[in-house]
Amino acid sequence: MALALFLEGEGKDVSVYNQDPLPPLYGFIPGAERVRQDLPRGRAFDLSLLLDCSSPSRVGAAFEGFPGKGEVVIVDHHPPLAPVEARHLIETSAAATCELLYRVIVAFGGRPTPEVATALYVGLVTDTGSFRFGNTTARSLAVASELLEAGADHRTVMLSLYENYPKERFTLLAKVLETLEFAHDGRVAVLQMTRTMAEEAGGSQDLSEGFVDIPRSIRGVEVSLLFREVDSGEQRVSMRSRGSVDVGRIASRFQGGGHPAAAGCTIRGDRVAAYQAVLAAVGEALP
């Protein structure tokens, strides 16, 4: 949304696409209501900007087969899983793609409006775990400071992200925490969430945002995992590491991706087999 709003300020005609619906948690971001899950038929774009992913395949089959995408340009901070053929700006030392976008905007002589600054600030805050994660750098904090000077609404961002949960989230969290297990001598903590849990809690699966981070705070845990049942025969696995294990590399073994400290993947097939395969991969990676 930050890039869309900035480009519109430069006189460009912009559409914002994401194959999945926007989680309600992020509905407060300026312009969030414009995110669409369909690509306009018969429309031909000059340029498609892929953000926070290094391959068109990560955007989904609908985008890959869309004939009007135009030139593709990628802006990302994740290590690419394969050589990137499109024109790109990929910088893995950046804490967030929003950090890179801010620098791009400034390089073009722009100055973020308060709405653009707020959207960029959301990306920077969430990708650094509110500046708790090891990817936080002096440059990240400098960008955060400049975004606040540009009018980013810190209070609204923090209240919306961390102090505005529906009660169904805590009902769901209680159910998920009951599944907490430890493996590999307590160095790995695992949570599991089924579709039934979300239904019984009266909410959607989107309410599980951040659940995977909770077990990582347990003393002695080096890797935390959340297995989330998306559909029959499909599991989404979120992974977090304190730093001793590169979970991005583990996720790539299952056609996923991410960072050394935060990654994820989708596994289709038997649920128990997926659980065992991921745990075995993590066990092999433990020092």
Residues 20 and 157 in one domain: yes
Residues 186 and 49 in one domain: no
pLDDT over 90 (residue 206): no
Q: What is the pLDDT of residues 31-68, one digit of tens each?
A: 999 999 999 888 999 999 999 988 888 898 999 999 99
CATH code, 69: 3.90.1640.10
* Distance (Å) of CA 281 to CA 75, 140, 192, 287: 29, 32, 17, 12
Residues 37 and 152 in one domain: yes
Phi-psi region of 187 (alpha: psi -120 to 50; beta: other; left: phi over 0): alpha
Domain range holding 257?
Answer: 167-285
C-alpha closest to that of 168 among 208, 131, 113: 208
pLDDT over 80 (residue 113): yes
Residues 65 and 135 in one domain: yes
Alpha helices in 193-259 (DSSP H): 195-201, 213-216, 247-252
Residues 105 and 185 in one domain: no
Residues 172 and 114 in one domain: no
Q: Is the full-model pTM beyond 0.85?
A: yes
Residues 85 and 179 in one domain: no
Residue 157 CA, distance from chain mean position: 17
How is the beta sheet containing 87-90 ordered, strand by strand?
A: 47-51, 71-76, 87-90
CA distance 241 to 225: 9
Of 162, 186, 216, the residue at which a domain comes to its end is 162
Q: How many domains does the chain have?
A: 2
pLDDT at 223 (0 to 100): 98
- Residues whose CB falls within 8 Å of the CB of residue 207, separated by 6 or more in sequence, listed in order: 165, 166, 168, 169, 172, 198, 201
Residues 98 and 41 in one domain: yes
Residues 113 and 173 in one domain: no
